[in-house]
Amino acid sequence: QVQLVESGGGSVQAGGSLRLSCALSPLTYSSNCMGWFRQAPGKEREGVAIIEEDGDTRYADSVKGQFAVSKDHAKNTMYQQMNSLKPEDTAMYYCAADTDDVGSLNPAVYYSWGRGTQVTVSS
């Protein structure tokens, strides 16, 4: 069964930190690639960070050095640590998995999605 459930969103002031979690079913956790995506109001969904089965990671230029993606095999969970948050990071954040284009930050190539968790950063 494919299942992804995000948690950890919230409201923070600029400069603050949040850690998002994505709990995956064992089948989904075994995916070749999974990642975090976000969609701000009025904007298209964009890739933020991905982590491949072997642990290799890739980040959008806008979050390099600010966000860090990781996963815990024992807990079937993927995380995203977000530091030095800015108002422009405000968005609904989604986790996704399963793609034919491993390593891609393009949300269009991911098949399985969670429902999202809201992150709001105030100035």
Q: What is the pLDDT of residues 84-109, one digit of tens each?
A: 999 999 999 999 999 999 999 999 99
Confidence at residue 37, expressed as pLDDT on a 0 to 100 scale: 98
Confidence at residue 108, expressed as pLDDT on a 0 to 100 scale: 97
E strands, 14-90, where? Answer: 18-24, 33-39, 46-52, 57-59, 67-72, 77-82
Q: Residues in the chain with pLDDT < 50?
A: none
